[in-house]
């Protein structure tokens, strides 16, 4: 006997976020598709795409779900708690289950802190949601957190899905595709990360074991969207190039399918030590245009401190190879890693300005619970702001440091975070000016200056119509 017959999936709006909703959320997309394939009625409200609590209320009243599933991130998680409470006010009998990184990291504590939450789904949730909806005994569902009277029970982790090709890829049938800032479709090509970077809570969110989808499965997904007119794709996982042979097979199959006009972007970043000129050339031939590289620091000392597992030499070789192939490149840096001094920080700036890259991003380093960085900062009592506060008030883009170290105190960190804003503007200005110069000549600099203005950039990150039209203009200009 089915326990839940109507499921409403909700993605919170995370008020105060730096970006708008760039693309449909893949995690909920996978849950939606598994419900679709199992003939369980469902609907979707993506509040990040501009749907208010009023619209959420209307959807609850019209769809009348008996279960609501909500995605839960650690940053701004109290906003999600507010939404869960609101859902229960609208319909007191509905049950709510949360999945995502925050519940996977803090587990039972989330149900203690958010008393309106009925269930938690730890790690992968596709099979769990089906077992719950199908009425399996709660105590038998691995990965589930639930309430038993006053007690909160966690059934223990379930084994990771080793065959990702068995999962149907998201088709986002009930998602507001016309509401997202970009026309990009996110592709999850693998799960898990075997590396041990100290700032990343990956082991509690997606696991350390790398699990891949086959090249054919990925091409099937892209072919589906290509037939619907979508040609821009973002690789959402961090380890697309972990296995170079799979990448080559993927590129070969794209060519065989004659899928023309594609654009692939590795927005989340790839590791420099997993690419070389040959593999980047293969990728370029089928439409890869944009790469982000997780540099993190400007010298090997700091890279070793954060257990990055690669060197500056690896990073610079990857940058040079990508530039030779005319990729747009963004470099990701962290500000204030353990042991990093202001002199080390200057090495990051030097590297950021050394090559004609498209963009650089310097992130305010935030310790996430269950990461080695978090444990280290906590053990040494380096917090400036308590975790409960900064996880609900701070972002990677803020100039407000959340911890300090003997090598870089809070005032130096504030200075560093302000400095990198100008460094980024300089890189973006130079990049945009070089694109515009052939067509606009002497006024290219003026247009570039307007483009990098904070107000304009804020609009572009949240206004889909303006962003899409502006992209078409720049494509015509650059061709």
Q: What is the band of 169 on the pLDDT scale with cuts at 50, 70, 90?
A: very high
C-alpha distances out from residue 460 to 260, 469, 471, Å: 27, 10, 10
C-alpha distances out from residue 200 to 104, 238, 286, 308, Å: 14, 12, 31, 10
Q: Which residues sit opposite 97 in a β-bridge?
A: 69, 119
Distance of alpha carbon 41 from alpha carbon 198, whole angstroms: 41
Distance of alpha carbon 126 from alpha carbon 118, whole angstroms: 18
**Residue 390: is its pLDDT beyond 80?**
yes
Q: What percent of the chain has pLDDT over 90?
A: 75
Taking phi over 0 as left and psi of -120 to 50 as alpha, with beta for the rest, 94 belongs to: beta
Distance of alpha carbon 435 from alpha carbon 451, whole angstroms: 12
Domains and CATH numbers, the chain: 6-154 (3.40.50.280), 181-478 (3.80.30.20)
More confident residue, 309 or 75: 309
pLDDT at residue 66, rounded to an integer: 96
pLDDT at residue 453, rounded to an integer: 78
Q: H helices within 21-100, ranges in order?
A: 26-37, 53-63, 77-90
pLDDT tens-digit map of 404-453? 999 999 999 999 999 999 999 999 988 888 888 888 888 988 887 887 77
Judged by average pLDDT, the poorest of 8-12, 84-88, 106-110, 395-399 is 395-399
pLDDT at residue 20, rounded to an integer: 61
pLDDT tens-digit map of 324-343? 999 999 999 999 999 999 99
User: What is the chain's length?
Assistant: 479
Judged by average pLDDT, the poorest of 100-114, 157-171, 189-203 is 189-203
Q: What is the band of 125 on the pLDDT scale with cuts at 50, 70, 90?
A: very high
Distance of alpha carbon 18 from alpha carbon 29, whole angstroms: 22
Q: What percent of the chain has pLDDT over 70?
A: 93
**Residue 393: is its pLDDT beyond 90?**
no
Mean pLDDT in residue range 179-207: 89
Beta carbons of 396 and 364 less than 8 angstroms apart: yes
Q: What is the band of 281 on the pLDDT scale with cuts at 50, 70, 90?
A: very high
CA dihedral 129, 133, 134, 137 (to 10 degrees): 80
Distance of alpha carbon 473 from alpha carbon 458, whole angstroms: 19
Rg (CA), the chain: 23
Most confident of 127-131, 196-200, 446-450, 462-466: 127-131
pLDDT at residue 182, rounded to an integer: 87
C-alpha distances out from residue 390 to 19, 363, 401, 455, Å: 18, 15, 9, 25
pLDDT at residue 469, rounded to an integer: 59
Sign for the pseudo-dihedral over CA of 163, 166, 167, 169: positive
Distance of alpha carbon 432 from alpha carbon 265, whole angstroms: 18
**Residue 466: is its pLDDT beyond 70?**
no
pLDDT at residue 231, rounded to an integer: 95
**Residue 22: is its pLDDT beyond 60?**
yes
CA nearest to 164, candidates 208, 201, 217: 217
Q: What is the band of 299 on the pLDDT scale with cuts at 50, 70, 90?
A: very high
pTM surpassing 0.75? Answer: yes
């Amino acid at each position: 006997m089915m326990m839940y017959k109507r499921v409403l999936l909700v993605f919170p709006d995370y008020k105060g976020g730096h970006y708008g909703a760039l693309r449909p959320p893949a995690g909920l997309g996978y849950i939606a598709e598994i419900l679709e394939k199992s003939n369980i009625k469902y609907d979707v409200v993506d509040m990040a795409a501009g749907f208010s609590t009023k619209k959420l209320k209307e959807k609850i009243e019209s769809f009348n779900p008996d279960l609501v599933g909500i995605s839960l991130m650690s940053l701004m998680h109290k906003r999600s708690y507010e939404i869960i409470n609101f859902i229960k006010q609208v319909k007191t009998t509905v049950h709510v289950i949360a999945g995502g990184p925050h519940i996977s990291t803090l587990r039972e504590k989330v149900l203690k802190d958010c008393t309106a939450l009925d269930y938690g789904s730890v790690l992968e949730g596709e099979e769990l949601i089906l077992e719950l909806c199908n009425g399996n005994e709660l105590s038998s569902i691995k990965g589930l957190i639930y309430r038993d009277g006053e007690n909160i029970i966690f059934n223990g982790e379930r084994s990771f899905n080793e065959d990702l090709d068995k999962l149907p890829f998201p088709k986002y049938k009930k998602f507001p595709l016309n509401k997202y800032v970009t026309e990009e479709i996110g592709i999850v090509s693998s799960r898990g990360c075997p590396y041990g970077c100290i700032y990343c809570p990956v082991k509690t969110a997606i696991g350390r074991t790398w699990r891949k989808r086959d090249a054919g499965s990925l091409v099937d997904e892209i072919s589906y969207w290509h037939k619907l007119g979508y040609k821009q794709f973002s690789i959402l996982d961090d380890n697309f190039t972990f296995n170079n042979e799979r990448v080559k097979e993927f590129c070969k199959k794209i060519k065989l399918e004659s899928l023309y006009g594609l654009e692939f972007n590795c927005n989340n970043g790839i590791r420099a030590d997993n690419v070389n000129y040959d593999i980047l050339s293969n990728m370029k031939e089928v439409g890869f245009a944009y790469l982000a590289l997780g540099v993190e620091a400007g010298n090997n000392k700091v890279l070793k401190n954060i257990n990055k597992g690669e060197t500056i030499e690896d990073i610079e070789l990857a940058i040079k190879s990508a530039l030779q192939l005319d990729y747009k490149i963004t470099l990701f840096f962290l500000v204030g890693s353990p042991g990093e001094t202001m002199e080390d920080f200057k090495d990051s700036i030097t590297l950021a300005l050394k090559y004609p890259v498209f963009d650089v991003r310097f992130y305010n380093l935030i310790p996430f619970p269950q990461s080695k960085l978090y444990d280290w900062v906590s053990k040494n009592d380096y917090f400036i702001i308590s975790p409960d506060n900064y996880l609900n008030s701070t972002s990677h883009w803020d100039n407000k440091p959340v911890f300090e170290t003997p090598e870089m105190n809070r005032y130096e960190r504030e200075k560093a975070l302000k400095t990198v804003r100008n460094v980024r503007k300089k890189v973006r200005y130079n990049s945009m000016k070089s694109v515009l110069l052939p067509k606009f000549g002497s006024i290219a600099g003026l247009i570039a200056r307007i483009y990098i203005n904070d107000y304009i950039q804020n609009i572009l990150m949240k206004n889909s119509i303006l962003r899409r039209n502006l992209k078409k203009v720049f494509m015509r200009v650059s061709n």
